[in-house]
Chains A and B, each alone.
Chain A
Amino acid sequence: MAEPALEARALRKDFGPKVAVRDLTLSVPKGEVFGFLGPNGAGKTTSMKMLLGLVRPTAGGGRLLGEPIGQTRVRARVGYLPEHFAFHEWLQGRELLGFHGRLLGLRGRALGAQVDALLRRVELVDAAHRCVREYSKGMKQRLGLAQALLGAPEIVFLDEPTSGLDPLGRLLVRDVIRDLAARGTTVFLNSHLLSEVEVTCDRVAFVKDGRVVREMTLGEAEKDLEVALRLERTSPSILGGLARFGRDVREDGGFVRLRMDDEARLPELSRWLAGEGVGLYHLAARRRSLEEVFLEVVG
């Protein structure tokens, strides 16, 4: 089995009496776009900082691209866009990318070519020679994204990459993430915009109170159907029979609701009801959004 891009084992971080991260255990395979979700204060940013070596874990450990977390040399293969993105604002956009490129060991024409390509990618060519302090919030965010992509990293950590971006900017970020995924780059994405996560991520983990409470692939979410039935009559035996087709069977405002994993069983369900002599007046099935799953898991 291939070594994962990222692995955390029981990572914990205490700030004095406050536990920021209780138990972070997860594994992200190479090439995966991984969503890291949770409410404010769940420990997402601290977790990310521990994985990047910015914060020292109180306990636990992990590996990043095969190296123990916190190692300096592995960072040449890692990109990072912090949530509260701050830069040397007195630098011009192009200078800033050049400076960060030099820290990555890039020099000369190779650096220049990469900076030019990234400025084009994040649509900042026209602003390349303006000081960063003159940039709008969205432009700074895009510049930060370009900075995170310098050196063609194997894994990119994006902490709220779409905050401050207009819909076009968000679309750009989505395209960048898709490009990265197509190139086999691992993406570790922390975002509150669940609709963005839904369309970009392969898999997500939900964090609550400093620990991962659930991991799932987005494919799993797509299979998770919420079915609503309006029946001529109900009885405990009918509800018990419906439980064969799904789970969480319950009566709710004149409807019987249940959750199913397999859409193909819906015809079978309607035939069973007819066989039981129960009139079916309404049947609706819809996929549950990531937001609904999020609310259920961490709400």
Chain B
Amino acid sequence: MRAVLTIAHLTLAEARRRRILAAALLLGAAFVALFATGLHFIARDIRAHGTPGQQGLMLSFVVMAALYVANFLIVMTSVLVTVDTLAGEIESGVIETLCTKPVSRWAVATGKWLGCWLILALYALVLCGGVLLVARLVGAYTPPNAARGMALILLEGTVLLTLALAGGTRLATLANGITVFGLYGLAFVGGWMEQIGTVAGNATARYLGIGASLLVPSESLWQLASYHMQPPLVRDMGMGPFSPQSVPSPAMVAWAAGYIVVVLATALRLFHTRDL
């Protein structure tokens, strides 16, 4: 366990020293600041002209739009932070001196996963926490189930982070990045196919979408997060672009958690058995 923490600490130190953390957090803060400024003016207009019902709907839409972008940035960051952590060190040979120390390879890979996850969690906290805090302070609005929604977004990032680590055990950095973003693309398109298939009553499109979600459960976690973080009226009526027509089953959370465990275990196995 000590070795896992040592490697995780090194991964965090690398992100700090190579200004990855600073870039992510500064631009994350800039994103939140821009959202705060925009929301300030939008909320002022809404309060001046709208009814309380309209105000709630409008604030929910704006906050969900910000969370949608935050979710996208978290997805990108989860892959970009992890894509090179093993693949790069294998390519450069840095990993050789690590793996000839009395540290098992699973500890090396787990430590890297943990380090990347901590960066992701911090980034998600800054982005989602910032958006929610701004919504509360500037718009006097808090989406329902905010903590659950944030946890689902973090889970989505964790799915992609774990896939990027697994890919890095066998693929070069660039190939790994292309593969993981490609898988994310499949899940994204699958999610939309499921929604459109539901609206159009096309079972084939819907089942294809569900299949894609089972293959990579990232988009369905966002759909679930957006479902929980909207007012009941909006989500149940299917009003607005963030209201899923086909709400993913709560079992998808268990599927995603199991998926992470299986992919991580596979990554450890692949790393353990490969030649360095």
Q: Quick check: A103 and B101 within 8 Å, CB to CB?
A: yes
Measured between alpha carbons, how far is A217 from B235 in the docked complex, in Å? 82
Q: Which residues of B contact A102 (CB under 8 A)?
A: 6
- Asked, given contacts A90-B14, A90-B17, A99-B10, whether A80 binds B100 with beta carbons under 8 Å apart, the answer is yes
Smallest CB gap from B6: residue in A? A102
- Asked, given contacts A88-B14, A99-B6, whether A54 binds B94 with beta carbons under 8 Å apart, the answer is no
Give residues 1-52 of B contacting A (CB, 8 Å).
2-3, 6, 10, 13-14, 17-18
Smallest CB gap from A105: residue in B? B102
Smallest CB gap from B103: residue in A? A103
Q: How large is the interface on B (under 10, 10 to 19, 20 to 34, 35 or more residues)?
A: 20 to 34
Q: Quick check: B17 and A104 within 8 Å, CB to CB?
A: no
Q: Quick check: B98 and A103 within 8 Å, CB to CB?
A: yes
Smallest CB gap from A15: residue in B? B275
Contact with B along A56-94 (1 / 0, CB 8 A): 100000000000000011111010101011111011000
A121 contacts chain B at the CB level, 8 A cutoff:
no
- Asked, given contacts A103-B6, A103-B98, whether A72 binds B104 with beta carbons under 8 Å apart, the answer is yes
Give residues 92-144 of A contacting B (CB, 8 Å).
99-100, 102-105, 144
Measured between alpha carbons, how far is A144 from B99 in the docked complex, in Å? 15
Which among A54, A88, A99 is the interface contact of B275 at CB below 8 angstroms? A54
Q: Which residues of B contact A39 (CB under 8 A)?
A: none
Q: Which residues of B contact A88 (CB under 8 A)?
A: 10, 14, 94
Smallest CB gap from B93: residue in A? A86
Q: Which residues of A contact B3 (CB under 8 A)?
A: 103
Q: Which residues of A contact B103 (CB under 8 A)?
A: 72, 75, 103
B112 CB → nearest A CB, Å: 12
- Asked, given contacts A86-B93, A87-B97, A90-B14, whether A103 binds B102 with beta carbons under 8 Å apart, the answer is yes
Q: Which residues of A contact B96 (CB under 8 A)?
A: 49, 54, 80, 82, 86
Q: Quick check: A54 and B14 within 8 Å, CB to CB?
A: no
Q: Quick check: B6 and A104 within 8 Å, CB to CB?
A: no
Q: Which residues of A contact B100 (CB under 8 A)?
A: 52-54, 75, 78, 80
B276 contacts chain A at the CB level, 8 A cutoff:
yes
Q: Which residues of B contact A52 (CB under 8 A)?
A: 100
* A–B Cβ pairs within 8 angstroms, 13 of them: A75-B100, A80-B97, A80-B100, A85-B93, A86-B94, A87-B94, A87-B97, A90-B18, A99-B6, A100-B101, A102-B6, A103-B98, A105-B2
Known: A75-B100, A80-B97. 12 other contacts (CB 8 A): A49-B275, A52-B100, A55-B276, A72-B102, A75-B101, A82-B96, A84-B93, A90-B14, A90-B17, A90-B18, A99-B6, A102-B6
| Interface residues of A, Cβ cutoff 8 Å to B | 49, 52-56, 72-76, 78, 80, 82, 84-88, 90-91, 99-100, 102-105, 144, 147
Across the A-B interface, the 10 shortest Cβ-Cβ residue pairs: A103-B101, A76-B102, A86-B93, A75-B102, A55-B275, A80-B100, A54-B276, A86-B92, A86-B94, A90-B17
